[in-house]
Chains A and B, each alone.
Chain A
């Protein structure tokens, strides 16, 4: 199966071509083409996972298939290749599995939408790009697919392009990601300049012996700019909440489970570089941790169901980035895997709710638990998993991250870092539990909206929810400290670190999660504390949080004042100085010509006179030296 790994990204690409050129008019055929191709990829991925877990393929002993692609003799040599190790195998499984479920779900969700076939074509193109990114064996190829997933994200956010907000949002996402890609590209070229290769394994062999750590830090941070934008980390996170303008399955697949995780994947894939630059690693951990608490706090007060989930995604991505920054790609990738399942579940559940009530404001919903039993229960399972309640998936992966956070001081040799990151992680866990159960109590319980015609979604939508909720419950067991030969033995950097059960941290994380749920119940379930009263009491904080710390406004202001100001200054320089010099020459010469042309009288006797005078003058000049002063 591993030899077929190249087929995994190719199958959806074929589906994309078929749909675009052949079956656009036949909606169901398009959907089935897309799903069949994805199922093929999924089966191959499954085979790869089993082969990797059973066989001799490990992180230190991966399988690499590659071909020459671009070559400029003597200078640049770029491969096209496939690198299969447990890291990419896990990602392959997650991406193909969720893409398959989301596509099945979309059959129901997108029913009757214009552009049904196009939607599936884009989903296939996205799957192709994402899978291509996952299997890449070099930075250049990963960058290419990285751009492609960005393009698909742009296309799908703007799927309802007739809506102004959607077309604004996709531009915002695209442009914000350009900033990240620019940094990534610079970093990548620096790497090539320093080491003469893009290949991950060749780089891994030479980077540890490179001694100029300052330069490595710069390169690592430049490359990290890519994940900052792609994985919506502060300060390039602004595109992710707006990306919720896309159809909900897209939010589930791209903006929750897979594409935004590409940044985390890149950090894990290129970890040897970051590990060699300790300063960069600390900065990565700080940015991840800050993004995580920053987004969680915004999520506390939002009203739009998809935006709450979007900020939750950003917060959890921050968790993963922090875990990798703290030196554990095991914890980061484990959380990525479990998070992909339950966040896809939550988004698809939110989609089911939106499909039923046609609004995204949670305060316009309410009492849906009676009418939408499957959606409600699967959503609650997803939320419990996200909140990190024992023994669901999120508990185990969050536990890993908190354990990593607690060991941060040891890892960097700066003792203060341990408690800082642990407290940060626990506060985020508390907020996560709170905003998820605020969402649940308001949406599914509480008073029913008068005149609501909500009904359960069709089976094609609920079955993926049920499958995902099974994974949300059980996928954590692959990586618990009690699992022999678990996740930590598959995906690791250097030596596998089997986690030892740390009951203190487990209890702490459970307590803060339960406290968050309890507080949400007090305010929104039992209504013992009035939400309005709290909002009025802390109105400043509430306003700041509700407006997302005014980051968008600050960027707009920066753009309007600073960027446009600089642009105006540049334009002035260009118009007045650069163009002025060039135009000045032209104008000067033309003005001279305008004066000089009056010499040309057109009267031949004038010319004759001038010629004669000139001859006389020349003759005198020549004659004087010869004759002397006669």
Chain B
């Protein structure tokens, strides 16, 4: 029997993997992918809560679709930034992106 907790644990694992990717990866594209994973783990949570706590309503699912739309926009902007940085600096290593430092 798959319960709500199973979904939540899956989402938590997925979030941690995404977070690790966002924090620890050097490649900017990989960082963006990590962020996508985190967003998707949130989506799993939303849909799971919707299914188990208030099955008659669609709030969670609609909210998940909203998150997917925002994530798509965010990735578009993010990739455009990465592309431009690469053109300027010939690198996508986030450790090198520290020009605003003192």
> Mask for B52-96, Cβ within 8 A of A = 1, else 0?
000000000000000000000000000000000000000000110
Instruction: Give the A interface residue count (CB, 8 A).
Output: 10
The answer to whether A601 and B98 touch across the interface, beta carbons within 8 angstroms, is yes
Q: Whole-angstrom distance between the alpha carbons of A608 and B94 in the complex?
A: 12
Contacts of B9 on A, CB cut-off 8 Å? none
Residue in contact with A605 in the complex, picked from B22, B100, B101, CB distance below 8 Å:
B22
Q: Whole-angstrom distance between the alpha carbons of A597 and B22 in the complex?
A: 24
Contacts of B48 on A, CB cut-off 8 Å? none
Instruction: Indicate whether B10 reaches chain A with its CB closer than 8 angstroms.
Output: no
CB proximity to B under 8 Å, residues A586-603? 597, 600-603
CB proximity to A under 8 Å, residues B2-31? 19, 22-24, 31
Size bracket of the B interface: 10 to 19
Instruction: Indicate whether A604 reaches chain B with its CB closer than 8 angstroms.
Output: yes
Contacts of B24 on A, CB cut-off 8 Å? 605
Q: Whole-angstrom distance between the alpha carbons of A121 and B97 in the complex?
A: 79
Residue in contact with A603 in the complex, picked from B19, B22, B94, B102, CB distance below 8 Å:
B94
The answer to whether B23 and A609 touch across the interface, beta carbons within 8 angstroms, is yes
Contacts of B31 on A, CB cut-off 8 Å? 605
The answer to whether A603 and B95 touch across the interface, beta carbons within 8 angstroms, is yes
The answer to whether A600 and B101 touch across the interface, beta carbons within 8 angstroms, is yes
Instruction: Indicate whether A612 reaches chain B with its CB closer than 8 angstroms.
Output: yes
CB distance from A611 to the nearest CB of B (A): 11
CB distance from B37 to the nearest CB of A (A): 14
Contacts of A601 on B, CB cut-off 8 Å? 98, 101
Whose C-beta in chain A lies nearest to the C-beta of B101? A602
> Mask for A427-461, Cβ within 8 A of B = 1, else 0?
00000000000000000000000000000000000
Contacts of A604 on B, CB cut-off 8 Å? 94, 97
Contacts of B95 on A, CB cut-off 8 Å? 603, 605
Q: Whole-angstrom distance between the alpha carbons of A329 and B99 in the complex?
A: 89
Whose C-beta in chain B lies nearest to the C-beta of A594? B102
Q: Whole-angstrom distance between the alpha carbons of A605 and B35 in the complex?
A: 12
Contacts of A612 on B, CB cut-off 8 Å? 19, 23
CB distance from A378 to the nearest CB of B (A): 89
Contacts of A608 on B, CB cut-off 8 Å? 22-23
The answer to whether B98 and A603 touch across the interface, beta carbons within 8 angstroms, is yes
Q: Whole-angstrom distance between the alpha carbons of A486 and B100 in the complex?
A: 97
CB distance from B89 to the nearest CB of A (A): 14
Q: Whole-angstrom distance between the alpha carbons of A612 and B21 in the complex?
A: 14
The answer to whether A605 and B94 touch across the interface, beta carbons within 8 angstroms, is yes
Q: Whole-angstrom distance between the alpha carbons of A609 and B22 in the complex?
A: 9
Whose C-beta in chain B lies nearest to the C-beta of A609? B23
Residue in contact with B99 in the complex, picked from A597, A600, A602, A605, CB distance below 8 Å:
A602
Contacts of B102 on A, CB cut-off 8 Å? 597, 600, 602
CB distance from B33 to the nearest CB of A (A): 14
Q: Whole-angstrom distance between the alpha carbons of A509 and B22 in the complex?
A: 115
Q: Whole-angstrom distance between the alpha carbons of A597 and B102 in the complex?
A: 7
CB distance from A455 to the nearest CB of B (A): 88
Contacts of B99 on A, CB cut-off 8 Å? 602
Q: Whole-angstrom distance between the alpha carbons of A609 and B98 in the complex?
A: 16
The answer to whether A602 and B23 touch across the interface, beta carbons within 8 angstroms, is no
Residue in contact with A602 in the complex, picked from B19, B22, B98, CB distance below 8 Å:
B98
Q: Whole-angstrom distance between the alpha carbons of A597 and B24 in the complex?
A: 23
Contacts of A609 on B, CB cut-off 8 Å? 23
Contacts of B23 on A, CB cut-off 8 Å? 605, 608-609, 612
Contacts of B94 on A, CB cut-off 8 Å? 603-605
Chain A CB within 10 A, most for which of B31, B95, B100: B95
Chain B CB within 10 A, most for which of A600, A602, A605, A609: A605
CB distance from A299 to the nearest CB of B (A): 78
CB distance from A387 to the nearest CB of B (A): 89
Q: Whole-angstrom distance between the alpha carbons of A315 and B100 in the complex?
A: 82
CB distance from B17 to the nearest CB of A (A): 14
CB distance from A157 to the nearest CB of B (A): 63
Q: Whole-angstrom distance between the alpha carbons of A605 and B99 in the complex?
A: 14
17 example contacts (A-B, Cβ-Cβ < 8 A) are as follows A597-B102, A600-B102, A601-B98, A602-B98, A602-B99, A602-B102, A603-B94, A603-B98, A604-B94, A605-B22, A605-B23, A605-B31, A605-B95, A608-B23, A609-B23, A612-B19, A612-B23
Given contacts A602-B102, A605-B94, 4 further A-B contacts (CB under 8 A): A597-B102, A601-B98, A602-B99, A603-B97
Minimum-distance CB pairs A-B, first 8: A602-B101, A602-B98, A597-B102, A605-B23, A602-B100, A609-B23, A603-B98, A600-B102
